[in-house]
């Protein structure tokens, strides 16, 4: 669940508790090009107010119009369906009408009577960092919650829709300094579960980023305990070889998709040589280290460096190659700050 869908969840709960009827919309499947991925959420209130997104905007407009015209969220005494399936972009004309590129199509699952208590439980679990599978019975409209793992995927068939909710990415930050404060806050906005490791009491005492897990283990122990997988990023920010090198020793052997460390090119070269000589890391493992950490965008402040780190993490996770990495400025502002 990304931050936009979490906002939909919170808002839908507020609307329901205030006495409104709410239509919860989930992208169940897409074919071809589609603006939003399967699992994305939107909610429409009974007066047509909308939160969230399932497309570029045209489909949302159609959903709002349907609600305002009484085609959805109808009040009747009969046993009406609580789940509806809508398909958009089936024809070329419809794809053009709703702004779906390249002939893309998508199917939406519409819940006209979502249970507020189940949604509240889902929000509580998500806030605790629990990855949760929400399974909707398409025949009854009832939703159930269960524990999920990072290997689970969205399921949609004629009987049920199962979506995953909660942080599916993890970030371990070594060092609780100023850069880490900004990095942790921004990473949470990108739906990372953030763990901050710092054995130094003076840094832990000043840590104030809500929603993060602060631990005092030695960095190498923290990396091992994390049991990193391909959805894990590890960033060392203490600028202390006794701490950073210990974390990197284990991180570079792990399946983590991103491993980065603070320091200039000179510092990074010395660090790699130490890891090669004293810890017998292979060249392939050393090549996984991103240093100087982050994209070289001329960042000077802790907040700017945090932005550059997250930008590089995003690029790496999506398999993007950026020439900017090979064209650093002569002043290397980013590296100069790192060396202070």
Residue 222 to residues 47, 152, 228, 244: CA-CA distances in angstroms? Answer: 50, 25, 10, 12
Helix (H, G, I), strand (E, B) or coil at 57: coil
Residues 185 and 291 grouped into a single domain: yes
Claim to verify: residue 137 and residue 222 sit in the same structural domain: no
Q: How does pLDDT run across 10-63, given as a tens digit for each residue?
A: 999 999 999 999 999 999 988 766 667 889 999 999 999 999 988 866 788 888
191 and 293 both lie in a single domain: yes
Average pLDDT of the segment spanning 230-247: 91
Judge if 124 and 147 occupy the same domain.
Answer: yes
19 SS3 class: coil
CATH of the domain at 305: 3.40.50.720
Give yes or no: residues 152 and 196 share one domain: no
Q: Which tens digits make up the pLDDT trace of 161-181?
A: 999 988 778 999 999 999 999
pLDDT in tens, 225-237: 998 888 899 999 9
pLDDT score at 332: 45
Using the predicted structure, report yes or no on whether residue 300 has a pLDDT greater than 60: yes
Q: Choose one of 138, 165, 192: the last residue of a domain.
A: 165
Rounded Cα distance between 265 and 325, Å, is 12
The DSSP secondary structure of 259-299, one letter per residue, reads EEE---HHHHHHHHHHHHHHH---HHHHTTEESS-S--S--
- Tally of domains in the chain: 2
Give this prediction's pTM: 0.66
Q: Which residue has tokens 């570029």?
A: 56
Residues 132 and 193 placed together within one structural domain of the fold: no
Average pLDDT over residues 96-119: 78
pLDDT of residue 33: 61
Same domain, 312 and 271: yes
pLDDT band at 330 (very low <50, low <70, confident <90, very high): very low
Say yes or no: 152 and 183 in one domain: no
Q: What is the span of the domain harbouring residue 38?
A: 3-165
177 and 190 fall within a common domain: yes
Parallel/antiparallel/unpaired status of strands 169-174 and 232-236: parallel
Q: Which residues share a beta bridge with 42? A: 25, 52
Asked whether residue 138 falls in the same domain as residue 219, the answer is no
Q: Can you tell me which residue has the tokens 């969220």?
A: 73
pLDDT higher than 90, residue 306: yes
Structure confidence at residue 78 as a pLDDT band (50, 70, 90): very low
Q: What is the mean pLDDT of residues 118-136?
A: 90
């Amino acid at each position: 669940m990304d931050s936009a869908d979490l906002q939909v969840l919170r808002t839908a709960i507020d609307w329901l508790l205030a006495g409104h009827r709410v239509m919860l919309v989930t992208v169940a499947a897409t074919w071809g090009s589609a603006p939003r991925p399967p699992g994305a959420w939107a909610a429409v209130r009974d007066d047509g107010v909308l939160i969230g997104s399932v497309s570029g905007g045209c489909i949302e407009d159609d959903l709002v119009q349907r609600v305002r015209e009484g085609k959805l969220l109808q009040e009747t005494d009969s046993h009406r369906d609580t789940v509806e399936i809508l398909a958009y972009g089936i024809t070329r004309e419809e794809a053009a009408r709703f702004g779906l590129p390249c002939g893309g199509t998508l199917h939406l699952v519409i819940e006209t009577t979502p249970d507020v208590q189940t949604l509240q439980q889902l929000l509580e679990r998500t806030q605790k960092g629990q990855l949760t599978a929400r399974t909707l019975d398409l025949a009854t409209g009832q939703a159930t919650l269960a524990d999920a793992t990072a290997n689970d995927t969205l399921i949609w068939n004629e009987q049920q829709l199962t979506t995953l909710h909660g942080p599916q990415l993890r970030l371990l930050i070594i060092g609780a300094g100023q850069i880490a404060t900004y990095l942790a806050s921004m990473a949470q906005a990108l739906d990372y579960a953030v763990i901050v490791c710092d054995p130094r009491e003076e840094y832990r005492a000043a840590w104030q980023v809500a929603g993060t897990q602060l631990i005092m283990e030695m960095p190498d122990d923290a990396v091992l305990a994390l049991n990193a997988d391909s959805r894990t990023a590890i960033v060392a920010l203490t600028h202390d070889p006794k701490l950073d090198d210990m974390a990197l020793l284990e991180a570079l052997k792990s399946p983590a998709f991103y491993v980065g460390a603070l320091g200039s090119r000179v510092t990074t070269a010395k660090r790699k040589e130490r890891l090669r000589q004293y810890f017998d890391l292979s060249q392939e493992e050393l090549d996984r280290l991103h240093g100087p950490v982050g994209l070289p965008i001329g960042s000077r402040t802790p907040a700017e460096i945090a932005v550059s780190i997250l930008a590089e993490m995003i690029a790496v996770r999506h398999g993007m190659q950026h020439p900017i990495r090979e064209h650093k400025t002569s002043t290397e502002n980013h590296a100069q700050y790192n060396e202070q």
